[in-house]
């Protein structure tokens, strides 16, 4: 007999975005004539910029030559890309770091990182939250049993981020070992200042905890005093792992490329209290389970850091931020309470009184054919809220806002 990993039985229904897609497909099959506008999953719509395409073509041609062909690459990523990352994403911020692991996505890395942590670690997540952090800890046995009446897991520490605390998470009352933070935040689109983030870094240093910092939306920061990297905070190298992604920054949701920083200074502990390097463990994990990102993809990512590449991706980000403004201002004018959308491609709104997030989802889908993501899908404190993304086309964004207002 082959037994299963019973932790999987604790997972709730399907992955949030699969549930949303299923509902939309069902509606669409029954109503083929309706023009549905999708502002649900945060998937980009603008094509890959020319500089990146040029680099990919060149890399493809190289692969067809005897001299340029490459087989397995370094599991940690090619030096040319790691160097470009270090210089552009860190040196420019005054941060000395070179412990970069290139990967096929921040979602994969956020999910896989749990491999190196003890099953008994206490995990804290902000609530609402990007579901990957929670689900991967359920799969690996850190969540305990699901409590249906609360829509919460017994062993997870939920840290609310709602209007009540202005979306600023408060330190947990009990001691936690692994803390997931995502800023600019998915799903709320809100940010922390350097001072606010420092409180978490100080907590982690004091308690020997680890911060898993998801910075996938860094490219959308427009305001000063919002940190672009957690390593801008003193001491963070000792306690933080940072995840970055090219998905939203450069439209790589289909190409797949990201990276994770695991500083050498960061120590984890055996149960008997001995220090172990997190960098060494992650390297060992990657070398065993991962064969690196394709050369062509890494050449594409490198092109983002050329002068022309930077300019071109900035234009796309500007376009999405303009969409965010259209949604934010349009809905505010119509009387909605709206958050995010300034340093983020996500707009988080309060659903009209008397409706749950899923009821509002159904109403939008069925009455005006607009798709968003129900807040409660991101956790119990997301109930009563709804997320729209700015990743659509400008025309669709304007049309969606108009339809919601008419509703």
Footprint of ligand MLT (CB under 6 A): 41-43, 107, 130, 186
Among residues 332, 299, 224, which one has the least CA distance to residue 70?
A: 299
CA distance 293 to 105: 10
Q: How far is the CB of 377 from ligand MLT (least distance, A)?
A: 10
Q: How far is the CB of 282 from ligand MLT (least distance, A)?
A: 20
Question: In 146-222, where do the E strands start and end?
Answer: 146-147, 152-153, 156-160, 178-182, 210-214
Q: How far is the CB of 17 from ligand MLT (least distance, A)?
A: 6
- Hey, what are 402's tokens? 């108009």
CA distance 353 to 227: 35
Distances (CA, A) of 135 to 122, 125, 165, 202, 299: 15, 11, 25, 27, 32
Closer Cβ to ligand MLT, 143 or 188, answer by number: 188
User: SS3 of 212, please?
Assistant: strand
Q: How far is the CB of 320 from ligand MLT (least distance, A)?
A: 13
Cα Rg of the chain (Å, integer): 21
Q: How far is the CB of 186 from ligand MLT (least distance, A)?
A: 5
CA distance 72 to 56: 18
Q: How far is the CB of 126 from ligand MLT (least distance, A)?
A: 14
Q: How far is the CB of 18 from ligand MLT (least distance, A)?
A: 11
- Hey, what are 224's tokens? 């000063």
Closer Cβ to ligand MLT, 43 or 399, answer by number: 43
DSSP run (H or E) holding 330? helix 307-333
Q: How far is the CB of 66 from ligand MLT (least distance, A)?
A: 39
> How, if at all, do strands 178-182 and 123-127 pair?
parallel
DSSP run (H or E) holding 394? helix 394-406
CA distance 57 to 190: 38
Q: How far is the CB of 287 from ligand MLT (least distance, A)?
A: 25
Q: How far is the CB of 129 from ligand MLT (least distance, A)?
A: 10
Closer Cβ to ligand MLT, 237 or 256, answer by number: 256
The helix-helix angle for 50-63 and 295-303 (nearest 10°) equals: 150
CA distance 207 to 171: 12
Among residues 170, 201, 167, which one has the least CA distance to residue 184?
A: 167
- Hey, what are 183's tokens? 């800023």
Closer Cβ to ligand MLT, 247 or 279, answer by number: 247
Q: For the chain, give the number of residues.
A: 407
Look-up of token digits 């960098």: 279
Distances (CA, A) of 205 to 73, 113, 179, 209, 238: 35, 20, 12, 7, 7
Q: How far is the CB of 96 from ligand MLT (least distance, A)?
A: 29
Closest-CB residue for ligand MLT? 42
Closer Cβ to ligand MLT, 18 or 225, answer by number: 18
Closer Cβ to ligand MLT, 130 or 220, answer by number: 130
Closer Cβ to ligand MLT, 246 or 295, answer by number: 246
Closer Cβ to ligand MLT, 101 or 133, answer by number: 133
CA distance 141 to 253: 29
Look-up of token digits 């994770």: 260
Closer Cβ to ligand MLT, 128 or 330, answer by number: 128
Closer Cβ to ligand MLT, 186 or 209, answer by number: 186
Closer Cβ to ligand MLT, 187 or 263, answer by number: 187
């Amino acid at each position: 007999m082959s037994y299963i990993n019973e932790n999987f039985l604790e997972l709730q229904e399907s992955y949030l975005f699969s549930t949303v897609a299923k509902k939309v497909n069902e509606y669409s099959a029954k109503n083929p004539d309706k023009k549905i506008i999708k502002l649900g999953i945060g998937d980009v719509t603008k094509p890959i910029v020319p500089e990146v395409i040029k680099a990919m073509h060149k890399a493809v041609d190289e692969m067809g030559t005897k001299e340029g062909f490459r087989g397995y690459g370094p599991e940690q990523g090619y030096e040319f890309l790691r160097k470009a990352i270090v210089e552009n994403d860190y040196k420019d911020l005054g941060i000395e770091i070179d412990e970069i692991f290139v990967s096929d996505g921040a979602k994969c890395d956020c999910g896989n990182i749990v491999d190196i942590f003890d099953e008994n670690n206490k995990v804290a997540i902000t609530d609402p939250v990007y579901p990957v952090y929670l689900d991967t800890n359920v799969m690996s046995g850190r969540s305990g049993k699901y409590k249906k009446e609360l829509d919460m897991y017994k062993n997870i520490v939920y840290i609310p981020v709602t209007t009540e605390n202005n979306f600023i998470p408060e330190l947990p009352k009990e001691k936690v070992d692994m803390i997931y933070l995502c800023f600019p935040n998915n799903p709320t689109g809100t940010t922390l200042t350097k001072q606010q983030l420092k409180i978490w870094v100080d907590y982690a240093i004091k308690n020997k905890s680890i911060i898993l910092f998801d910075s996938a939306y860094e490219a959308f920061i427009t305001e000063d005093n919002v940190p672009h990297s957690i390593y801008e905070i003193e001491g963070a190298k000792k306690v933080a792992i940072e995840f970055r992604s090219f998905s939203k920054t450069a439209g790589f949701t289909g190409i797949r490329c990201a990276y994770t920083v695991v500083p050498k200074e960061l120590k984890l502990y055996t149960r008997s209290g001995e220090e172990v390097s997190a960098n060494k463990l992650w390297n060992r994990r990657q070398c065993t389970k991962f064969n690196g990102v394709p050369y062509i993809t890494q050449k594409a990512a490198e092109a983002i850091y050329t002068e022309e590449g930077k300019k071109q991706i900035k234009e796309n980000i500007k376009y999405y931020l303009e969409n965010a403004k259209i949604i934010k201002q349009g809905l505010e004018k119509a009387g909605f309470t709206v958050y995010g959308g300034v340093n983020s491609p996500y707009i988080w709104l309060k659903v009209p009184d008397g409706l749950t997030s899923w009821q509002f989802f159904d109403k939008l889908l069925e009455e005006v054919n607009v798709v968003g993501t129900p807040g409660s899908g991101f956790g119990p404190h997301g109930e009563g809220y709804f997320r729209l993304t700015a990743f659509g086309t400008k025309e669709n964004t304007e049309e969606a806002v108009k339809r919601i207002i008419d509703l």
